[in-house]
Amino acid sequence: MLLLALSIIIIPKYYITGDGGSHVYNAKILFDFVFNHERDFYKEFYTINRAIDPNWMSHLSIGVFLQMFPPWLADKMFQIMYVITFAFGFRYMITSIEKQNGFLSFLFFPFVFSLPFQQGFYNYSFALALLFFTVGFYIRVKDDFDNALHQLILAVLLLVTAFSHGMPAIYVMMIISLIWLSDHYFYFFPINIKKIIYALSQLTLVFLPSLFMILLFMAKRGFGTEPHAWSKTKKLIEFFKMWTSQSTRNAEIYPAVACGILILIYLIILFFTRIKVNISKRNTIGYVFIFMVFFTFISYINCPHSIGGAGSIDIRLAFLPPLFLILYFATKNWNDLSKRIFIIAAFMISTSFLIIRFPFVLKANNIGKEIMTADAVIPDKSIVLNLHFDDWQQLNNGTDSLFHRDGSFIHFSDFIGAQNNKHLIMLMNYEAEINYFPVNWQAGKNPRQSISGLIPGNYPPCGDISLYEKQINKKIDYVLIQNWRKDVENIACVKDLISQLNAQFSLVYESPNKYVIVLKRNL
């Protein structure tokens, strides 16, 4: 099952995700700074964030891979590492709860290839994979938690999770605290202050480094929220469609809903046979996961679009309730027939996802390879304005698009700046304006200050590039246009932009299908 899932990453050269190209580009800059590869060129535009923040795991991992592999393979290596870590972590946690229930881990595909992963939320996705190992380890050693080595290992696992992303780290601390409370509730009846303080001091020491990192991060980012565009009713409907398991095509609704129905059927089975299937020694852990099901569901229904500048909160939450429900199933006793049916259904659901998704992943790969041919005409140490006109990639003369659920090409052209033999300033580098990522804009260099209408996500991009050139007192060397769409050329602001480009730049490259066009500044 794992090899089957990995095939969709391994076979194409590029498995394209929304933020993937930007993560690779910024990982290259970070390591170029560390190893003094053209640092003087970069430092006019970029500075390195010297705080220890969450959201660095993917950059450090990819940066290490870049020292051995080309950028496309470094990205792929991280994706493979994530899938393996998630799948085996899921299985590790399930077997930590009850060894005989490892069959539940066969249903990993709808959760590992989720919309957060497709959007390139590498750090959050990897932190969820680490959550399984961290909580699973605690479940295995909780009866011998006085052992200092166990406490140290748990603290390190939690810290690595927090370093990847704060949200899953908070869930880890919640789950562990609830499991501890369910195991030691008798300390409170009658209350035993000495034992409570002793046990809580152990957990506090384990949690403290991660809590400190997360609190510093929140102090930096604040708690400002952006309201969600969807109503609660709309969120509920999409939840039952398992919408965050549909990471590329609308047709994926069929295996996604089948996954939800499978989980619902097994929940109904438990409802009618709950006494017979209970594993008494696991009941308290089961209650913890039921709590997490309701907690994450209510959080999803009520969440804003963003908190503290971190967006797409709903996407990060929507697939967690069914995931925690499967972990609840792990606390029950299943007969052989139930196990066989579950494994067969999981296999059919996963292969259905692959059958639907694979042809479009291969098409995206071909488009990505064509876009990357622009690398040959952009020389080292250039300032590049990369403009994207279509990140969903229209097909069939605009009647369809390659991606339905996410504009996965949104940061793809950043891959050009990540090439091993290049040192480029890619001006649409969205990460550099977010202060918890490792690479930040130098003061006065952020393009959003003067040409925010050109930032990826604006369709069509519009703006006056001379405003940015005045801002930095420097000329843009090349303009890279990704996925030009002829239907926008009569829009007034696009006309103005094209007129400006025609006056100051000359065409030096156009790919066969016009997926990429490169303009060079006139001398």
Domain layout of the chain by residue ranges: 364-521
Radius of gyration of the chain (CA): 25
| Arithmetic mean of pLDDT, 468-484 | 96
Amino acid (one-letter) located at 64: V
- Could you tell me which of 496, 452, 448, 447 has the C-alpha nearest to residue 469? 447
Full-model pTM: 0.95
| Arithmetic mean of pLDDT, 447-461 | 92
DSSP string, 396-416: GGGTEES-SS--TTTTTTHHH
Dist CA 347 CA 344 (whole Å)? 5
Q: Is 424 exposed, middle or buried (0-12, 13-18, 19+ CB in 10 A)?
A: buried
Out of 63-67, 77-81, 179-183, 426-430, which region has the weakest mean confidence (pLDDT)?
A: 179-183
- Could you tell me which of 115, 206, 224, 118 has the C-alpha nearest to residue 162? 206
pLDDT of amino acid 305: 80
| pLDDT higher than 80, residue 275 | no
pLDDT of amino acid 227: 85
pLDDT grade for 53, boundaries at 50, 70 and 90: confident
Query: pLDDT tens, 101-138?
Result: 999 999 999 999 999 999 999 999 999 999 999 999 99
Structure token pair of residue 232: 């609660």
Q: Please, what is the average pLDDT of the chain?
A: 93
Query: pLDDT tens, 200-229?
Result: 899 999 999 999 999 988 887 777 778 888
pLDDT of amino acid 341: 97
Q: Which residues pair with 509 in a beta bridge?
A: 518
Dist CA 514 CA 521 (whole Å)? 20
| Arithmetic mean of pLDDT, 28-33 | 96
pLDDT of amino acid 329: 96
**Residue 273 phi, psi (nearest 5):** -130, 25
| Arithmetic mean of pLDDT, 341-370 | 97
| Arithmetic mean of pLDDT, 323-334 | 95
The answer to whether 462 and 493 are in contact (CB under 8 A) is yes
- Could you tell me which of 408, 396, 313 has the C-alpha nearest to residue 357? 408
Structure token pair of residue 76: 């792929």
